[in-house]
Each structure stands twice: as structure tokens, then as C-alpha cells.
Amino acid sequence: MKLQTTTQEIKIIKAYYTPEEYLELEEKSDYKNEFRDGEIIPMTGGTTNHNKLALNLATTLNLALDDLTYEVYIGDVKLWIPRYREFTYPDVMVIEGEPVYYTTNTTTITNPLFIAEVLSKSTKDYDQGDKFLYYRSIPEFKEYILIDQTQYYVMQYVKTPENQWILTEYETENATLKLSSIKLELSLKKLYKKVNFAENIDLYRTHRY
């Protein structure tokens, strides 16, 4: 079967793709696409606030963990979730020790300890629902951070030794996010530095449970 691409984006020509076909197409595409059990899903572009939040978090993590046995990845590194046959691009990931790659492909890892997602209007329900379910199937995964870009609001899920997930919410500028898996504290004021909430007045606020 012949795979077709354009110079800018993947041209979807069938309903089902193998992981290898997806990776071949993704390598040639100028735009990011996720893979969900045979289906290729184009990703939407992020806002400037989305970018600032991901960068603020990744920069803080990278500086704090520089001399320790952790590695920080942002945006362009894929994650493979074998149980659900999914390739995705988390906003920020941290691994402990050496990365475990999908086959010999160094653009895709399989063993994150920590994942953070900046919520957007189009993906927030998925990030809080099915995607979190998929992430929880990864044995090394112990902490999940969801960051609202319309207000000071962060959800933190931490895995206990009993394999339960505990939710903590942070809701003010003066709150301090206490990361469990990597023993680091980060103020929301620093996390949200230069974020302009006025740019997000038309975005839906995060639904709180």
C-alpha cells in the first residue's frame, strides 16, 4: 500500500493505520498528529498562554532537576501507551533514569514518571477523562498535573503505594504546588508568570468535580 502525504499535513486516505505507518507519515508531516488505536487524529494549535505555562513548568523542572537522575521533555517528544495503542504528545514529561524508547525510535518514550497537560477548550474533557485512563496504564507513571490557562487553577493527581489516585486542587496565585514524584515545590505565581488571562475570555473554564 502506498502512503500519501502533503508537504504540510498528513492526508488521511484510510480508516485504519498501523503504528509503523503512522510513524512514517508523522515523520514527514509539518503538523503534529496523535494516534489512537489505528486512527490518526490531527492536533489543534495551542494558544500563547498554553505555550507560556508549559514552558514555565518545563524550565523550572529542568533547572531544579539538572544534577539529578531525571530528564525533562516538552511538546515534541511522543509517548507510546502500549495497552491502548496510542501515540500522544504530552505537554511536559519527566522520566527517572534512562528513557525507554519505542523500538529504536528516539522521538518516542514509554516510561514517564510525571506528566503535565495544559488544558484547552478542545481537549480538557479528554485530558481529564480517557487520556488520564490511558496514562494510568503506564507502570512508571505516578503524578499527573492539569493546568487551567483561564485562571489560577491546577489539579494534581498522585498515585499512592496502594495504587489509588489522590486529587489535590490549587486555586489561588499564592498557592504552592507540591510535586510528589520529584519532591519539588512551585508557586502558582511563578507557574503563571506572564500569562494574560484577558486573552482567554472566550475559553471555557475548567469544570471542577
Q: What is the pLDDT of residues 3-43, one digit of tens each?
A: 444 445 556 566 799 999 999 999 999 899 999 999 999 99
For 58-62, 102-106, 144-148, which range has the lowest pLDDT when averaged over its residues?
102-106
Q: How far is CA 103 from CA 19, 99, 166, in A?
A: 11, 12, 33
Number of Cβ within a 10 Å radius of residue 197: 14
Q: Which CATH class is domain 48-80+91-200?
A: alpha beta
Confidence label for 105 from pLDDT (cuts 50, 70 and 90): confident
175 pLDDT higher than 50: yes
8 Å CB contact between 112 and 69: no
Q: Full-prediction pTM beyond 0.75? A: yes
Query: Which pLDDT value is given to residue 203?
Result: 52
Residue 85 confidence class, pLDDT cut points 50, 70, 90: very high
Q: Residue 9: CB partners within 8 Å, gap ≥ 6?
A: 29, 30, 31, 33, 42
For residue 92, the surrounding DSSP H or E stretch is: strand 92-96
Mean pLDDT of 90-115: 96
How do residues 143-170 score in pLDDT, each as one tens digit?
A: 999 999 999 999 999 999 999 999 999 9
Instruction: Catalogue the long-range contacts made by 92-99 (C-beta closer than 8 Å, 24 or more residues apart).
Output: 92/54, 92/57, 92/58, 92/61, 92/116, 92/145, 94/61, 94/65, 94/70, 94/181, 94/182, 95/70, 95/71, 95/140, 96/69, 96/70, 96/140, 97/69, 99/71
Break the chain into its structural domains and give their ranges: 48-80+91-200
